Amino acid sequence: MSDGAGMLGPLARRRRTTIHGSAGVKQANGSKWHQDAGDGKPESPGKAKKKDAASRKAVGHGKVDGEPVTAARQADSNGPRSPGNEEEQLSDRLSCHVLQESLLSSASGYSNYRGILNWCVIMLHVINNGSVFMYLSCFCRYGILVDPIQVVSLFLKDPYSWPAACLTIASNVFILAAFHTERRLAVGTISETTGRILHFFNLTFLFLPLFSYQDTNRWCREIGQAKAKKLTRSYSCPTVAPCNGSAVQTHVSYPGNLTHRDIYYFIFAPTLCYQLNFPRSPRIRKRFLIRRLFEMLFLMQLLVGLIQQWMVPTIQNSMKPFQEMDFSRMVERLLKLAVPNHLIWLIFFYWFFHSSMNFVAELMQFGDREFYRDWWNSETVTYFWANWNIPVHKWCLRHFYRPMLRRGVNRRLAQIAVFLGSAFFHEFLVSIPLKMFRLWAFMGMMAQVPLAWFVSRFLNGNYGNAAVWVSLIIGQPVAVLMYVHDYYVIHHGSST
């Protein structure tokens, strides 16, 4: 779930959005289809490619992270700010979501899957090395190992030790603490310093969303302190009332957003960045919802089946070569694990970022469906990290990277800080569930730095895209085997 490395890379490409009332339709490759008043014909592909190339050269020349730099954002790192300019900057920070569809949804009209062709070529070479034959041998040697009941029994064996359920119940305490702290800050019964101290001790496993919540509300208070006569735009959780198939949104400004409904809508919405007015879809599409639900159920069973039938036997057979430090057999097991691990990762990505998040967004009529961009077309490692997990990437940009730039921190130091923070959270998310502290995930993230430099310096186009795919196919199984080996040694080493 990283995007820290994404700060080091090229611009994120523009993706197509379908927003009524705009001048044209944006595409994921950075071009636009403009409709002229006379003929309404789309722009030619040649011109679109030239515009795309021009947009790539715009790094540091009026664009940041694939988005036009507004006057407010330019002033963030351009020295002193006037009161009016500061107010404009604060207003610009408040909104970070727009109404748009996910790329893999048919409504987006997206069709650029050139990176998938490179993936197919690489997978054919890997499969020719015997990975599929190993999968078939699992059936011959072990029979059918798929057992969904076994997974359910693991949860039912000791229901009082479910960590997810206990954390979900306990999270309400921290959510309500953040909510009441903000209400006290809004009426002035506690100082900003006291509020920050309370928020600091309240930031737990809901760190990212609650930090965004308090940060955005603080920006609203700063606008009020700047004595703005009138907000050009108001931001709050909209109240949607159906009216002949359409939605009527009521926008309220701070502190009208400090309600229980508002904060719980944000917590359940598929985003980590809080804003007062989220874009809302006009209605719930029942067919779309049913398709996403079917995908969630089917892909979950497929993931369980692949793990039980393919991953578990391969990992178990890999323990002995690691214990004996047989390098040749270790490489062999690594390559055999690469294909199932990679397929499971791809299926999980689609299940979580497309099916699950779109299902929740459709239920809540959350309009911004940009949960990922076209990372499969990545020609650099940094572009992949900046585009495969947009909610985390957007949070890092809004609440970590750009605030450091506004405080005068050097751009390169800010990029390194974000990357180190991302590497730390990778290790944290792995070490806590396994109850053992290792640095494999952290070192894996740090290894991306020289890899990103090498790919961006020496490989271009399809070669760069192929390098990104190879790093994903080979890199993840290495970390998986390291953690499984250490876990096995800690818990079962004495019995062997």
426 is catalytic: yes
The amino acid occupying position 24 is G
354, 399, 426, 485: which is the annotated catalytic residue? 426
Of 216, 211, 213, which is closest to residue 200 (Cα–Cα)?
211
Residues annotated catalytic, as ranges: 426
